[in-house]
Amino acid sequence: MLTPTTVSIQVKPLCPLFGTCGGCQYQDLPYEEELARKETILKDLIVKELSLPEDIFEAITPSPESYYYRNRLDLTLRKRNNGERQMGFMLPGTQRLQEVTNCSIARKEINDFLVVLKEEAVRKLPEDYKVANLVVRVGDEGKVFWGGIGRRSLRMEEKDYFWTIVHGRKIFYALDTFFQANLSILEKIVSRIESLIQWEKDTVFLDLYSGVGLFGIALADRAKEVVMIEECRDSVTLAQFNVNYHQLENIKMLVGKVETYLPAILKELDGKPCVALIDPPRGGLASSAIETLGAAKSLESLFYLSCSPESLARDLKHLAKVGWKVRKIMPFDFFPRTRHLEVLIWLARS
Ligand SMILES: C[S@@+](CC[C@H](N)C(=O)[O-])C[C@H]1O[C@@H](n2cnc3c(N)ncnc32)[C@H](O)[C@@H]1O
């Protein structure tokens, strides 16, 4: 998480709740200024902290859409003691709920649906329930679905799966799977990864923490073989659906923890040129996974995609100790108007 230092009000925030709901930090700045501040904060955290040369830091890639980009909102529905129903965001660090009827960073289709969502959710909320956590999502086709009340309410039928097109391929995802929140920037990051390395005829691409298979599927044609490791079964179900949909025969999928499977996979691939993308959750990598990555001599390049610069800095220090050197730092603004930032790191053997 990146915390802005000084904030001088220069533009009128689009959202009347800016400063109250806690979701956005930068609506009062021109977008260029927000990007410059994010770069400075990231440089302090990674470049200075790790004593890296400035010239490996690439300019931040802006989001093609700086408002109305989020394809997912998480909302709380609450029944108060006086019977009133509220739907909105819990204010950080409090028990207070901010009623929300519009969110300037959520996709327009989601905003258009919020009134209906509240009506439907209130109707569905059982009498004895006081609180429900709602998830509402949309894909490129513009259909909105929601869930969060009742068992299996996040399950979707295959015909309803959301999708977005990346690198010419439809990538399907669902209400119950992780998927990147900003679809507009995905093509840029996939293309950047693709362009940085020399893909040989026998390159094996390891998509670690693969979710529904976004990166492995988008880049499947570049590799001889793709190996995905993902622990969430619902995501693996979607990854399998994606593989079947595209009739890809060079993808192997492992269900479980990266730190459990990685040692055996790397041993099996010993001698073959391998490239790995690691895209862990906010907490970063398990120490055992870093040790394994250090020992894997057939791994030629490593990409680390992180949504948490703090855990990234910690892991990069550890990766340096086991023989990995940072070659490029590439910030991507996946979350305009908020303090969050996605960073792609390219590492090579030192
Ligand atoms: C940040 S998401 C990235 C998903 C995917 N790369 C994408 O961009 O859509 C992290 C993923 O790692 C999975 N995960 C978390 N811990 C894991 C672990 N120890 N081993 C394997 N997968 C894990 C989560 O279920 C989640 O799907």
**Ordered per-residue pLDDT tens for the chain, 350 residues:** 656 555 566 799 999 999 999 999 999 999 999 999 999 999 999 998 899 999 999 999 999 999 999 999 999 999 998 989 999 999 988 999 999 999 999 999 999 999 999 999 999 999 889 999 999 999 999 999 999 999 899 999 999 999 999 999 999 999 999 999 999 999 999 999 999 999 999 999 999 999 999 999 999 999 999 999 999 999 999 999 999 999 999 999 999 999 999 999 999 998 899 999 999 999 999 999 999 999 998 898 999 999 999 999 999 999 999 999 999 999 999 999 999 999 999 999 98
Q: Would the CB of 178 count as within 6 Å of ligand 1?
A: yes
Q: How far is the CA of 313 from the centre of ligand 1 (A)?
A: 19
Determine the CATH number of domain 45-65+178-349: 3.40.50.150
> What pLDDT is stored for residue 5 in this prediction?
56
Residues of the chain with CATH 3.40.50.150: 45-65+178-349
CA-wise closest residue to 261 among 300, 213, 210, 219: 210
d(CA 10, CA 104): 18
> What pLDDT is stored for residue 139 in this prediction?
97
Instruction: Provide the 3-class DSSP secondary structure of residue 195.
Output: helix
Q: Would the CB of 185 count as within 6 Å of ligand 1?
A: no
Q: 103 near 23, Cβ under 8 Å?
A: yes
Q: 230 near 210, Cβ under 8 Å?
A: yes
Q: Would the CB of 189 count as within 6 Å of ligand 1?
A: no
- Burial group, residue 4, by CB count within 10 angstroms (0-12, 13-18, 19+): middle
Q: In the numeric block, which tokens belong to residue 308? A: 């948490």
Instruction: Provide the 3-class DSSP secondary structure of residue 203.
Output: coil
**Ligand 1 atom closest to residue 229's alpha carbon, by position in its atom list:** 21
Q: How far is the CA of 229 from the centre of ligand 1 (A)?
A: 8
Q: In the numeric block, which tokens belong to residue 204? A: 């094996």
Task: List Cα–Cα distances, 310 to 142, 317, 338, in angstroms.
Answer: 35, 11, 16
> What pLDDT is stored for residue 58 in this prediction?
97
d(CA 138, CA 117): 13
Q: Would the CB of 156 count as within 6 Å of ligand 1?
A: no
Q: 243 near 252, Cβ under 8 Å?
A: no
Q: Would the CB of 258 count as within 6 Å of ligand 1?
A: yes
> What pLDDT is stored for residue 151 in this prediction?
87
Task: List Cα–Cα distances, 63 to 71, 307, 332, 343, in angstroms.
Answer: 14, 15, 7, 13
Q: Would the CB of 284 count as within 6 Å of ligand 1?
A: no
Q: Would the CB of 253 count as within 6 Å of ligand 1?
A: no
d(CA 57, CA 304): 15
Pairing relationship of beta strands 225-230 and 204-208 according to DSSP bridges: parallel
> What pLDDT is stored for residue 252 in this prediction?
98
Q: How far is the CA of 322 from the centre of ligand 1 (A)?
A: 23
d(CA 338, CA 97): 19
d(CA 104, CA 293): 41
Q: Which phi-psi region, left, alpha or beta, contains residue 69 (left: φ > 0; alpha: ψ -120 to 50)? A: alpha
Closest residue by CA, ligand 1 atom 6: 210
CA-wise closest residue to 32 among 9, 6, 66, 3: 66
- Burial group, residue 146, by CB count within 10 angstroms (0-12, 13-18, 19+): buried
Closest residue by CA, ligand 1 atom 19: 257
Q: How far is the CA of 170 from the centre of ligand 1 (A)?
A: 20
